[in-house]
């Protein structure tokens, strides 16, 4: 009995020893997780001012509905739909023959009255002498004086008819009143044109181009304060610089530079906004260089409403959100991740302006942000922040 008990104890110790050995072997096979690698970049210092963005539409400085000033049949259309035209270029022509006939008739009347005038001048001079010697009566002399005065009035009326006839003849040639782009023709050759009522086409000016947008009342007051304090060097709000971007300006760079040239005279009490207008150069040279802007385009307008100050630019991928609070993560000199709260400003050069706890010497994590948390030790790969902006734009 004792021998069997000793054997059982021996087997038990053997089993315990083997289990302990296997546990140690398994524990030694578990390695510590590898240190994560993140990509970091230093913020880009930049000087920026508070700016506000608005949406609006472009509009032509001048828009002219082309109508005839005389009635007649259309005999010529010289433009193609959508052409760029110069001021005084011929667009349409109305049959000039009836107006030429009226002009010829008026000229003939003037010529006849001028002949009568010369004859009456001779007769008045003759009867003046005869009346002074008693060879003719004073009544005869007075009658010729009256005929002479009547001739003067008739001649002036006939000369006015010549002027009117020449104008009407000139109005048969319908020319472009401004430089710009023409719409389609609304009336083809052979149709009757009624004076001052028949639309023939439309011409819109191209250079410069307006952009209309609405600004909230507080923003306008801030802008006026900057002008009064001299932060914006301008005589008044109508000469403040303004930038504009089109619908394809995905990175909000607002490449077009213009100036305000109109502020409405009242704030809309229903919306609390006031209408502003910017003027932008829109050069073109058809067909070598087409204009960039067209009336009716959707645009975004950026208006400066604060003094310049220093900010830091980071890529948008580096910015996280925690319960509505924006932040970035940086790698400290000891290789550990730290948390920095920031306030997000305006986009600039493909990067995002931020202010807050961030410093220009910090190494901001721009890739791998989801794999780290504050206090974790990481390895870093350094890149340039501007390079990230170029890649994002491309």
Amino acid 277: pLDDT? 95
**Percent of the chain at pLDDT exceeding 90:** 47
Q: Which domains does the chain have, with CATH numbers?
A: 37-46+310-393 (2.40.420.20), 51-61+207-309 (2.40.30.170), 65-94+173-204 (2.40.50.100), 96-171 (1.10.287.470)
Strands 37-41 and 379-383: parallel
Question: Which three-class secondary structure state does DSSP give residue 224?
Answer: helix
Check pLDDT > 50 for residue 22: no
Long-range contacts of residues 292-298, Cβ cutoff 8 Å, at least 24 apart: 292/246, 292/256, 293/58, 293/206, 293/209, 294/58, 295/58, 295/59, 295/60, 295/63, 295/204, 295/209, 296/57, 296/58, 296/59, 297/57, 297/58, 297/246, 297/247, 298/55, 298/56, 298/57, 298/246, 298/247
Report the length, in residues, of the chain.
394
Structure tokens at 81: 């739909």
Mean pLDDT of 6-26: 47
Cis-peptide, bond into residue 196, ω within 30° of zero: no
Q: What is the mean pLDDT of residues 177-190?
A: 94
Taking every pair of Cα atoms in the chain, the longest distance, rounded to a whole number of angstroms, is 192
Is residue 9 over pLDDT 50? no
**What value does the mean pLDDT take over residues 269-298?**
92
Residue 12 binned pLDDT confidence (cut-offs 50, 70, 90): very low
Please say if the pLDDT value at position 20 is more than 90.
no
Whether the upstream peptide bond of residue 287 has omega within 30° of 0, thus cis, is: yes
Checking if the pLDDT of 75 tops 70, the result is yes
C-beta separation of 168 from 70 below 8 A: yes
- What pLDDT sits at residue 4? 44
Quick: pLDDT tens for 310-322. Answer: 888 988 888 888 8
DSSP letter at 354 equals: E
Which range among 176-180, 198-202, 362-366 shows the weakest confidence by mean pLDDT? 362-366
Work out the pLDDT band at 5, boundaries 50, 70, 90.
very low
Lowest mean pLDDT among 66-80, 178-192, 301-315, 316-330: 301-315
List pLDDT tens digits, range 232-272: 776 666 778 899 999 998 878 899 999 998 989 999 999 99
pLDDT tens digits, one per residue of 350-377: 788 888 888 888 999 988 878 888 888 8
DSSP 36: P
Look over the chain and give the mean of its residue pLDDT values, rounded to a whole number. Answer: 85
Residue 1: what pLDDT?
41
Overall average pLDDT of the 87-99 stretch: 96
Residue 6: is its pLDDT beyond 80?
Answer: no
Phi and psi, residue 49, nearest 5°: -115, 160
Q: How confident is the model at residue 392 (pLDDT cuts 50, 70, 90)?
A: low
φ/ψ (deg, to 5) at 107:
-65, -40
Q: How confident is the model at residue 2 (pLDDT cuts 50, 70, 90)?
A: very low
What residues contact 41, with CB distance under 8 A and at least 6 apart?
Answer: 314, 315, 318, 363, 364, 366, 382, 383, 384, 385, 388
pLDDT digit string, tens, across residues 113-127: 999 999 988 888 888
Q: Which of 151, 152, 210, 200 is nearest to 176 (CA)?
A: 200
> d(Cα 133, Cα 122) in Å, to the nearest integer?
17
pTM given for the model: 0.69
Comparing CA positions, the residue from 8, 2, 32, 40 lying closest to residue 362 is: 40
Give 2 or 359, the one with higher predicted confidence.
359
β-pair type (209-216, 273-280): antiparallel
| 3-class DSSP assignment, residue 237 | helix
What are the beta bridge partners of residue 92? 77, 174
CB atoms within 10 A of CB 76: 14
């Amino acid at each position: 009995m004792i021998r069997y008990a000793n054997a059982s104890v021996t087997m038990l110790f053997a089993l315990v020893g083997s289990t302990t050995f296997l546990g140690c072997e398994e524990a030694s096979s578990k390695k510590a997780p590898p240190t994560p690698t993140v990509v970091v970049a230093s913020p880009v210092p930049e000087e920026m001012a508070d700016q506000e963005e608005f949406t609006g539409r472009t509009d032509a400085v001048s828009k002219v509905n082309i109508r005839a000033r005389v009635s007649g049949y259309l005999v010529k259309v010289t433009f193609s739909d959508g052409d760029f035209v110069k001021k005084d270029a011929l667009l349409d022509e109305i049959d000039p023959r009836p107006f030429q006939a009226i002009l010829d008739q008026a000229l003939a009347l003037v010529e006849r009255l001028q002949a009568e005038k010369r004859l009456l001048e001779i007769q008045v001079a003759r009867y003046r002498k005869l009346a002074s010697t008693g060879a003719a009566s004073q009544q005869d002399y007075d009658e010729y004086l009256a005929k002479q005065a009547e001739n003067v009035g008739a001649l002036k009326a006939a000369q006015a008819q010549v002027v009117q006839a020449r104008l009407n003849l000139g109005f048969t040639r319908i020319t472009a009143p401004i430089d710009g782009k023409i719409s389609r023709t609304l009336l083809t050759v052979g149709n009757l044109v009624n004076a001052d009522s028949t639309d023939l086409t439309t011409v819109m000016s191209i250079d410069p181009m307006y952009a209309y947008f609405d600004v909230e009342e507080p923003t306008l007051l801030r802008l006026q304060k900057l002008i009064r304090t001299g932060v914006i060097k301008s005589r008044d709000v109508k000469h403040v610089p303004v930038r504009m971007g089109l619908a394809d300006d995905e990175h909000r760079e607002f490449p077009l530079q213009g100036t305000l040239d109109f502020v409405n005279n009242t704030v809309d009490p229903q919306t609390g906004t006031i209408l502003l207008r910017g003027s932008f150069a829109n050069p073109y040279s058809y067909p070598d260089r087409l204009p960039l802007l067209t009336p009716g385009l959707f645009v975004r307008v950026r208006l400066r409403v604060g003094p310049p100050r220093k900010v830091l630019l980071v890529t948008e991928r580096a910015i996280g959100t925690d319960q509505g609070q924006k932040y970035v993560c940086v790698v400290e000199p000891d290789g550990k991740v730290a948390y920095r709260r920031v306030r997000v400003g305006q986009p600039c050069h493909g990067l995002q302006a931020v202010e807050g706890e961030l410093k220009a010497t910090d190494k901001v994590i721009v890739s791998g942000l989801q794999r780290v948390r504050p206090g974790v030790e990481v390895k870093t790969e350094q890149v340039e922040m501007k390079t990230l902006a170029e890649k994002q734009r491309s």
